[in-house]
Amino acid sequence: MGCLGFDNGLLPFLTKEDIEECAKLMKETVEYVNRDSLEFNGVIYGGFFKTNDGIKFVEFNARFGDPESLNILNAIETPFVELFKNIQNQTLSIENCKFKKTNTFTVYIVSPNYAISASKEPCKFTLNKDNIENQGVKIYFASTKQIEGNNYESVGNSRLFAVTYIADTMDEAREKVYKALDGNVDEKLHYRKDIGKMYVH
């Protein structure tokens, strides 16, 4: 329901070695797939857990992770089109994929019945998009369509939209997002108010 991106590319509970282990597993998987006639060349999203017994693999997806990708894409310094050219030409490397030293914070907003029951009727809600964006917070719509003005409704039963902010500190990024949501999102909608709370000082 939300995601954090720290300026060092890590999370407080992860070490550089943890990240390297995950990257190694992903690289070995792609190399194994490419041994046959198939050739994977694109975006891969790896899901892992860190446990008392070490890193545990959960899943791979040949797509952007959501909401994780919102944090990553907002921190990328290299022009997006250059990244895809290098992916296509198989020249993508650490040298031509640069990231800003910044903190990113994302929260997803959902309908009242999200993950509980599948409603047959769309969830109609109001959202003051201009007020949120005027505070520098970005909105990323998902299963939502605009009806008129500040009136929207859900499309399907997935998450409605996400809000993201980038800042020099995680405290600032978190504060900006929650401040922008306050009073600008329909009260019937749900979002977690504890994302990243344990890492705020």
Q: 120 with 193, same domain?
A: yes
Q: Is the pLDDT of residue 116 over 80?
A: no
By C-alpha distance, which of 131, 150, 153 is closest to 142?
153
In a domain, 95, yes or no: no
Please give the Cα distance from 120 to 113 (Å, whole number).
Answer: 11
With H, G, I as helix, E, B as strand and everything else as coil, classify residue 195: coil
In a domain, 126, yes or no: yes
pLDDT in tens, 16-56: 999 999 999 999 999 998 888 788 888 888 999 999 999 99
pLDDT in tens, 70-96: 999 999 999 989 999 999 998 999 899
Read off the pTM. Answer: 0.89
Q: 79 with 129, same domain?
A: no
Total domains in the chain come to 2
Q: What pLDDT shows up at residue 200?
A: 62
pLDDT in tens, 151-184: 999 998 889 999 999 999 999 999 999 999 999 9
In a domain, 26, yes or no: yes
Q: What pLDDT shows up at residue 41?
A: 86
pLDDT bucket at 201, cuts 50 / 70 / 90:
low
Please give the Cα distance from 42 to 4 (Å, whole number).
Answer: 24
Q: 128 with 188, same domain?
A: yes
In a domain, 58, yes or no: yes
- What is the mean predicted confidence (pLDDT) over 52-67? 90
Q: 116 with 192, same domain?
A: yes
Q: What pLDDT shows up at residue 156?
A: 81
Q: 160 with 184, same domain?
A: yes
Q: 117 with 184, same domain?
A: yes
In a domain, 1, yes or no: no
Q: 41 with 75, same domain?
A: yes
Q: Which residue range(s) make up the domain with 21?
A: 8-88
Q: 111 with 190, same domain?
A: yes
Q: 107 with 194, same domain?
A: yes
In a domain, 2, yes or no: no
Q: Is the pLDDT of residue 124 over 70?
A: yes
